Chain A
């Protein structure tokens, strides 16, 4: 699993466009954005629109938790040991 994570774009549209271009080359399996889309530059609306257009899962002081099977399998193993 190859997951791309990006953050703190801060209304910098040229930088964000370059990231999107690079992501196409990197070919990740999923993309998450850890927030701070706006502030410090002149393109807050354009950055938000682009994030939404690409449907990128984004947090804003909240959390996304991704649980993989490996952990569950380990838990099951532990349970078995206890039994």
Chain B
């Protein structure tokens, strides 16, 4: 099973179009979207329409949740005063231009999608969330304490957990031992961002999750992740920001991937 997962498009239409070109050229069995379709760029309606038209199962990101409810709070953790001011401009602008039909779509997106695989004698539960199972806007960074990550996944009943929100991709394998003495490997996977990467690589990013036909939680290699980066017309996206009321800082972020 090869599952494509993408997230955090943030109204960046050139990046989304390049993503679809890239993923369609690869051999995947299914495709899921982990949210944050809108904010920070000028094409929120177009991005929603693209994803809707393809009938892609999608969960809500914090920005979708906010805009879906016409809220002035996107649930983002801005650090500096500048970031806070820019954030206000972005959410007001997005609220202003998102059409009613598209807003309805955002409002009714689900919080989580769970895929339960039945392999051998043991189930394998794959959980898709935006931030974390507990909060739509919790940041699960790569340096998260292993015990904390394990607890989050245990509480959510997730053997494989896929999420976005930080825009920084990684794959961590967390080993533990079940009460019956068998190894239990869990996979925490941040799938990165299509339209606003922050890991220093300005190209768009997504993942293809591979689940073996005989996958088991006791075999570490049952689940593997392919991190894919694709080129897109960054200048088109950056110029669109600069030609709008959105802060120029967002254009620079796109050029630098930060």
Contacts and interface: CB of A to CB of B under 8 A. Distances in A.
Q: Does A pair with B? A: yes
B110 A68 contact: yes
A28 interface: yes
Interface string A55-80: 11110011111111100100000000
A38 interface: no
A32 interface: yes
Q: How large is the interface on A (under 10, 10 to 19, 20 to 34, 35 or more residues)?
A: 20 to 34
Interface in B1-60: 4, 27-32, 52-58, 60
Given A55-B54, A63-B114, A65-B114, A29 B32 contact: no
A29 B113 contact: no
Interface in B108-144: 108-118
Contact of A67 (B58, B108, B111): B111
B112 A67 contact: yes
Nearest to A52: B29
Main secondary structure of the interface of A (DSSP, over half): mixed
Contact of A65 (B31, B108, B113): B113
A55 B56 contact: yes
Interface size class, chain B: 20 to 34
Nearest to B33: A30
B53, B110, B115: residue with the most chain A Cβ atoms closer than 10 Å: B110
| From A23, A52, A54, A69, residue with most partner B Cβ within 10 Å | A69
Nearest to B58: A30
B70 to A, nearest CB: 15
Contact of B56 (A1, A4, A30, A72): A30
A31 interface: yes
A28 B54 CA distance: 9
B116 A65 contact: yes
A31 B4 CA distance: 16
B78 interface: no
A4 B166 CA distance: 31
Contacts of B105: 1, 29
Contacts of B108: 1, 29, 68
A69 B111 contact: yes
Interface of B: 4, 27-32, 52-58, 60, 65, 105, 108-118
